[in-house]
Amino acid sequence: MKNKLLLTALLVLAPATALHAMTVGTFLEKADALQKRGVTALFSADFRLLKSEVKGASEALRSERLAAQRAGRRAAYCPPDRPSLNSDEILAYFRSIPAPQRNRTEVRDALRGLLARKYPCAS
Protein backbone atom coordinates (compact mmCIF):
# COMPACT_ATOMS: atom_id res chain seq x y z
CA MET A 1 0.00 0.00 0.00
CA LYS A 2 2.83 2.37 0.90
CA ASN A 3 4.54 1.72 -2.43
CA LYS A 4 1.38 2.50 -4.38
CA LEU A 5 0.93 5.76 -2.48
CA LEU A 6 4.55 6.73 -3.08
CA LEU A 7 4.31 5.91 -6.78
CA THR A 8 1.11 7.93 -7.10
CA ALA A 9 2.72 10.90 -5.34
CA LEU A 10 5.76 10.75 -7.61
CA LEU A 11 3.61 10.65 -10.72
CA VAL A 12 1.56 13.60 -9.56
CA LEU A 13 4.60 15.66 -8.62
CA ALA A 14 6.75 14.78 -11.65
CA PRO A 15 6.81 17.41 -14.39
CA ALA A 16 4.70 16.52 -17.41
CA THR A 17 7.61 17.07 -19.80
CA ALA A 18 9.67 14.43 -18.02
CA LEU A 19 6.86 11.92 -18.38
CA HIS A 20 6.35 12.59 -22.07
CA ALA A 21 9.82 13.37 -23.37
CA MET A 22 9.89 13.11 -27.14
CA THR A 23 12.68 11.22 -28.85
CA VAL A 24 14.59 12.57 -31.83
CA GLY A 25 13.20 9.71 -33.92
CA THR A 26 9.61 10.71 -33.19
CA PHE A 27 10.44 14.38 -33.70
CA LEU A 28 11.96 13.70 -37.13
CA GLU A 29 9.04 11.48 -38.20
CA LYS A 30 6.60 14.26 -37.38
CA ALA A 31 8.80 16.95 -38.95
CA ASP A 32 9.18 14.96 -42.18
CA ALA A 33 5.42 14.44 -42.38
CA LEU A 34 4.86 18.15 -41.81
CA GLN A 35 7.35 19.13 -44.50
CA LYS A 36 5.39 17.04 -47.00
CA ARG A 37 2.24 19.00 -46.14
CA GLY A 38 3.80 22.30 -47.13
CA VAL A 39 2.18 25.51 -45.92
CA THR A 40 -0.82 23.73 -44.44
CA ALA A 41 1.52 22.20 -41.85
CA LEU A 42 1.52 25.53 -40.01
CA PHE A 43 -2.06 24.83 -38.93
CA SER A 44 -1.35 21.30 -37.72
CA ALA A 45 -1.41 20.16 -34.10
CA ASP A 46 1.89 18.37 -34.77
CA PHE A 47 3.49 21.67 -35.78
CA ARG A 48 2.45 23.19 -32.46
CA LEU A 49 3.62 20.04 -30.67
CA LEU A 50 7.11 20.20 -32.22
CA LYS A 51 7.37 23.93 -31.57
CA SER A 52 6.33 23.36 -27.97
CA GLU A 53 8.83 20.50 -27.61
CA VAL A 54 11.74 22.69 -28.75
CA LYS A 55 10.58 25.59 -26.61
CA GLY A 56 10.25 23.41 -23.52
CA ALA A 57 13.63 21.79 -24.10
CA SER A 58 15.23 25.20 -24.64
CA GLU A 59 13.77 26.55 -21.41
CA ALA A 60 14.90 23.46 -19.48
CA LEU A 61 18.41 23.73 -20.90
CA ARG A 62 18.58 27.43 -20.07
CA SER A 63 17.57 26.68 -16.47
CA GLU A 64 20.11 23.86 -16.35
CA ARG A 65 22.86 26.17 -17.67
CA LEU A 66 22.06 28.98 -15.22
CA ALA A 67 21.92 26.54 -12.30
CA ALA A 68 25.34 25.16 -13.26
CA GLN A 69 26.76 28.68 -13.41
CA ARG A 70 25.27 29.61 -10.01
CA ALA A 71 26.77 26.43 -8.53
CA GLY A 72 30.18 27.24 -9.99
CA ARG A 73 30.10 24.31 -12.40
CA ARG A 74 30.95 24.45 -16.08
CA ALA A 75 27.88 24.90 -18.27
CA ALA A 76 27.24 22.60 -21.24
CA TYR A 77 27.17 25.59 -23.59
CA CYS A 78 27.83 29.33 -23.44
CA PRO A 79 25.56 31.29 -25.76
CA PRO A 80 26.03 34.93 -26.73
CA ASP A 81 23.58 37.55 -25.47
CA ARG A 82 21.30 36.91 -28.44
CA PRO A 83 21.63 33.27 -29.46
CA SER A 84 19.87 32.13 -32.59
CA LEU A 85 18.89 28.72 -33.85
CA ASN A 86 16.62 28.06 -36.77
CA SER A 87 14.62 24.98 -37.67
CA ASP A 88 17.03 24.02 -40.46
CA GLU A 89 19.94 23.88 -38.00
CA ILE A 90 17.94 21.84 -35.53
CA LEU A 91 16.70 19.36 -38.15
CA ALA A 92 20.16 19.01 -39.72
CA TYR A 93 21.71 18.26 -36.33
CA PHE A 94 18.95 15.81 -35.39
CA ARG A 95 19.41 14.03 -38.73
CA SER A 96 23.16 13.78 -38.09
CA ILE A 97 22.41 11.55 -35.09
CA PRO A 98 22.83 7.93 -36.21
CA ALA A 99 19.46 6.29 -36.90
CA PRO A 100 19.84 3.59 -34.21
CA GLN A 101 20.36 6.29 -31.54
CA ARG A 102 17.44 8.52 -32.53
CA ASN A 103 14.82 6.52 -30.66
CA ARG A 104 16.94 6.53 -27.50
CA THR A 105 17.86 10.21 -27.59
CA GLU A 106 15.48 12.79 -26.16
CA VAL A 107 15.00 16.10 -27.95
CA ARG A 108 16.41 17.97 -24.95
CA ASP A 109 19.63 15.94 -25.01
CA ALA A 110 20.06 16.40 -28.76
CA LEU A 111 19.41 20.11 -28.46
CA ARG A 112 22.03 20.30 -25.69
CA GLY A 113 24.52 18.69 -28.08
CA LEU A 114 23.72 21.19 -30.82
CA LEU A 115 24.05 24.15 -28.46
CA ALA A 116 27.35 22.82 -27.07
CA ARG A 117 28.70 22.50 -30.60
CA LYS A 118 27.44 25.90 -31.74
CA TYR A 119 28.24 27.79 -28.53
CA PRO A 120 31.20 26.06 -26.84
CA CYS A 121 32.45 27.47 -23.56
CA ALA A 122 35.97 28.90 -23.50
CA SER A 123 38.34 26.64 -21.63
The model's pTM? 0.80
What distance in Å separates the CA atoms of residue 93 and residue 87, rounded to the nearest whole number?
A: 10
What distance in Å separates the CA atoms of residue 119 and residue 17, rounded to the nearest whole number?
A: 25
Cβ–Cβ < 8 Å for 25, 101? no
Report residue 37 CA to chain centroid gap. 23
| Residue 58: HSE in the Cβ half-sphere, 13 Å Cα cutoff | 12
Reported as a single tens digit per residue, the pLDDT across 52-107 is: 999 999 999 999 999 999 999 999 999 999 989 999 999 999 999 999 999 999 99
The per-residue pLDDT for 123 is 66
Domain ranges for the chain: 24-118
